[in-house]
Structure 1
Amino acid sequence: METLSEMLGSVSDFVWGPVMLILLLGTGLYLTIGLRAMPIRRIGYGFRQLMSGRRVVEADKGEITPFQALSTALSATVGTGNIGGVATAIAVGGPGAVFWMWITALVGMATKYGEAVLAVKYREVDEEGRYVGGPMYYIRNGMGAKWGWLGALFALFAMVAAFGIGNTVQSNAVADVMEANLYVPTWVTGLVLAVLVFFVIIGGVRRIAGLAERLVPLMAVVYILGALVVIVVNIQAVPGALAHIVGDAFTGTAATGGFAGAAVMTAIRFGVARGIFSNEAGLGSAPIAHAAARTNDPVRQGTVAMLGTFIDTIIVCTMTALVIVLSGAWESGTSGAELTSIAFGDGVPGGNWVVTFGLIIFAFTTIVAWSYYGERCAEYLFGVKAIMPYRYLWVVLLFVGAVAKLGIVWLIADVLNALMAIPNLIALLALSGTIFAVTRDYFAREESGR
């Protein structure tokens, strides 16, 4: 078992190494240039589309509102990456890693935009009347049937990875937090979690989206307000903290206190890797949710989808980073969610509970959203008959994850999560001409008033 763990660890280091990070960043940069930085220039337009997307327009085809689609996608991404991932990036790469997370997010907006555009343009209606889409569909329908095998590979990787990154790992994290802080036995947490998730996912994407549009904004606001309290208390130190983040991005961080020091390349590596882990731009998961949106225009949904990366990384991750840097806890030698908890606790009395309950709620919404992603991939591979068995297996494994040791499972999921990105990035590059063309056409019509 130890040999297998070492082997998987080596594979994980390779697939998440420099080549993958360059491919992810390079694709985002290419799309940003091809779109003439439209996602960055039109953030305000995206938010206006998001607000108008809260209401149902009967003429629009789809199952859930654009706002619900973004909430569902955010429920999968706003989670442990925002709490533990940011802390790990700073603990290993120094404050400068945060700057590279920002860069990753800015180019990642174009990636997320392109994914959603293709997801809506090439989506299908299954035999039960559901709108389904995502990388597997835009690979097959956009690149041609001869590339169907590549779409199937994405679906296989995502379906299996979902049981790790979106299921057992999440339930295990919740069980550990409940046991450590509230003394709740892991099996009790696992059972309650399985029952709650079952009643949500059995209702399909509409029930999942309904939960997401209520819970995601609430949990994000509570977490951000908790961080803002710490930031306001230390407001005079904020300019220095921001200068520290930007300066260390190009000079590295000298060893101080319990911190071992980090080179510029370490800051870049961990900033980019944790930024992508947090917002999932390029992995191909979010477009599965956006494909179900009620819209008749791919570009309109794309401008909503790109906000997911902005909200997740530029807003939520930045809140976490500022709290950690302002507190000075990043020099303590701890990392992950424990570091974030210490930083919040130092910043405001009871701040650690914001992190504790944030982790629980974030993990729950991630579980629900990833169940939908995995289910759609299972349907693509095996047809609609696979949906109900997949849901039952999902619930059973939640309980298993809560009570089991998951070292091997985490490593397998980590590898498959990276492998998901390869077919998706190939499709984004191959279909980039389509993304550019429909975008130009849409905004030309907008400007002409047609």
Structure 2
Amino acid sequence: MGLLESFFGLIGDLTWGWSLIPLLVIFGIFITALTGFSQFRFFTRMFRVLSSKNQSGDPNAISAREALLISVGGRVGGGNIAGVAVAITLGGPGAVFWMWAIALVGMATSLVECSLAQLYKRREPTGDFRGGPGRSILHGLGGEFRWLAVIYGVCLIAAFGLGFNAFQGNTVAGAVQDSLGISRFITGGVLAVVAGFIVFGGIHRIAKVADVVVPVMALGYILMALIIILMNITSLPGVIADIVGNAFGFREAVGGGMGAALAQGLRRGLFSNEAGLGSAPNVAATADVRHPISQGITQSFSVFIDTIFICSCTAFIILLGDVYVPGAEGIDGIALTQQSLVSHLGEWSQYLLSAMILLFAFSSIIYNYYLGENALTIMTRSPMALNVLRVAIIGIVFLGAVAPGATAVFFFSDPLMGVLAVVNLVVIMMLLPTCLRLLKDFRQQLAAGVDRPVLHPEEFPDLDIDRTAWTGVDPELAERN
């Protein structure tokens, strides 16, 4: 076991330790420039996904909004509550500024990776769509790169399907036990049963649950933070000044100054919004949309919601309170968020936070499951293998909840997520010219007065596109195909 831990520790050092975060940041800036600052140019268009007028005409298809909410539900989790608190504890208030910065950059990266996932998606016999970096490798780079798709799939299953689901079960069971005194076995059992009901229902049941759960948890948490901001509105300018001042070293709140703020903000921001890590594109590909760039824009919005909205809520809850003391050793993580909330609203609020954590963790569990399922289909189409994966994930959620020490077994999760991100970045780099062609087509249609651009596969004859995935979205397109 010690040898394995050392091996995966080395992988973690080679990825997250010194290379991956700068690469994600630099490449994100590079993509932002090449796409013409797309995350800002299409910013107002992102909100169109919330309107029912922009949903698929097929009632049986996964809509753009449902795919958005699944990915938001997966991105929003412990990282937004505990992770932000850790970033502030180790990096000071300035870490929040760099979390905002990496989110704005990551929005462009997310647009590219999710647009590619949409382009190379495949229609299943059931009528559903499957896609993601694995299929972008197979159909964008070619069959000779199947080995790269297999590496990607194995890392995705191990990191998200198994490891992170154990951590989610552990997080929610611990929070519920601490605040409500409910046994970990009860919480774990409830999580396992409900998760089992959802995952055996497939992507449609996951989408329907996310369409209800995610807005409730996200809007509820944002509303709670807004109440706290209004209660402390006179302190808000000072807090924002601390965030900016500490971010650039004008005010040193913790040891390490600007360097600590930069490192913690970038690291926690990337862990939270997942831009460039290759996870969200798997869900983005399930949506029935008219043009790949449309869903890329929608997934940029997911990054914005995760960091600019949800992470900022946690930051202001902590920084507007009196529990957090810059540079002092003491509570951190989820306990800091919880106690800060209590200092603002009273004891009852910790129970509300526990309910929020339960929803956050649950939405992440079903999201992580789908990532594992989609990765498995790259390697095998066996229904038996799929059911084994479902049962294994339900068991791991329960195990993570009832045995806190069991999560130590999944020490390989973060290093393998690093490998996952490296593979995904390689794919993005190799297929970026293709995405820029799509973006050009999208902009040309907008310039010609087309309000909702449509992909015409015959205009890209050199690309391995599943034509059946792009018929029926527009009557004119259906006739031409």
* Fold match by TM threshold 0.5: yes
Aligned to 2:115: 117
Aligned to 1:303: 297
Aligned to 2:28: 28
Match of 1:143 among 141, 144, 164: 141
TM-score (norm 1): 0.94
Aligned to 1:322: 316
Paired with 1:223 and 1:96, the residues of 2 have a C-alpha distance of 22
Pairs within 5 Å for 1:193-212: 193-212=191-210
Aligned AA for 2:166? T
Question: Are 1:223 and 1:354, in contact at CA under 8 Å, matched by a contact in 2?
Answer: no
Q: How many Å apart are 1:401 and its aligned residue?
A: 1.4
Aligned to 1:359: 357
Paired with 1:168 and 1:195, the residues of 2 have a C-alpha distance of 15
Question: Are 1:98 and 1:271, in contact at CA under 8 Å, matched by a contact in 2?
Answer: yes
Pairs within 5 Å for 1:209-220: 209-220=207-218
Aligned to 2:386: 387
TM-score (norm 2): 0.88
- How many aligned positions are there? 444
Aligned AA for 1:423? V
1:347 aligns with 2:344: yes
Identity %: 36
Aligned AA for 1:21? I
Aligned AA for 2:280? A
Aligned to 1:431: 431
Q: How many Å apart are 1:426 and its aligned residue?
A: 0.7
Paired with 1:236 and 1:290, the residues of 2 have a C-alpha distance of 41
Question: Are 2:322 and 2:343, in contact at CA under 8 Å, matched by a contact in 1?
Answer: no
Paired with 1:88 and 1:311, the residues of 2 have a C-alpha distance of 20
Q: Which sections of structure 2, spanning at least 5 residues, go unmatched?
A: 451-481
RMSD over aligned Cα atoms:
1.9
Aligned AA for 2:340? A
Q: 1:207 to 1:16 in 2, by over 3 A?
A: same
Paired with 2:78 and 2:257, the residues of 1 have a C-alpha distance of 25
Paired with 1:419 and 1:252, the residues of 2 have a C-alpha distance of 36
Aligned AA for 1:29? I
Q: How many Å apart are 1:380 and its aligned residue?
A: 1.0
Paired with 1:127 and 1:152, the residues of 2 have a C-alpha distance of 23
Question: Are 2:218 and 2:310, in contact at CA under 8 Å, matched by a contact in 1?
Answer: yes
Aligned to 1:102: 100
Q: How many Å apart are 1:192 and its aligned residue?
A: 1.4
Aligned to 1:368: 366
The DSSP-based 3-state class of the residue aligned with 1:107 is: helix
Aligned to 1:45: 45
Q: How many Å apart are 1:441 and its aligned residue?
A: 1.2
What whole-Å deviation, never above 9, does each CA across 1:379-415 have from its counterpart, x for those lacking one?
1112242222211211122211112213533421111
Q: How many Å apart are 1:325 and its aligned residue?
A: 1.2
Aligned AA for 2:391? Y
Match of 2:227 among 226, 229, 234: 229
What whole-Å deviation, never above 9, does each CA across 1:153-198 have from its counterpart, x for those lacking one?
1111001112444311111111112222222221221111111111
Question: Are 1:84 and 1:337, in contact at CA under 8 Å, matched by a contact in 2?
Answer: yes
Aligned to 1:287: 281
Aligned AA for 1:156? V
Paired with 2:126 and 2:76, the residues of 1 have a C-alpha distance of 30
Question: Are 1:159 and 1:373, in contact at CA under 8 Å, matched by a contact in 2?
Answer: yes
Q: How many Å apart are 1:447 and its aligned residue?
A: 1.6
Paired with 1:38 and 1:393, the residues of 2 have a C-alpha distance of 40
Question: Are 2:170 and 2:402, in contact at CA under 8 Å, matched by a contact in 1?
Answer: yes
Aligned AA for 1:344? L
Question: Are 2:399 and 2:406, in contact at CA under 8 Å, matched by a contact in 1?
Answer: no
Paired with 2:281 and 2:394, the residues of 1 have a C-alpha distance of 24
Paired with 1:109 and 1:409, the residues of 2 have a C-alpha distance of 33
The DSSP-based 3-state class of the residue aligned with 1:251 is: coil
What whole-Å deviation, never above 9, does each CA across 1:87-134 have from its counterpart, x for those lacking one?
110000001111110111001001111111101100112455431100
Paired with 1:429 and 1:252, the residues of 2 have a C-alpha distance of 37
The DSSP-based 3-state class of the residue aligned with 1:327 is: coil
Aligned to 2:167: 169
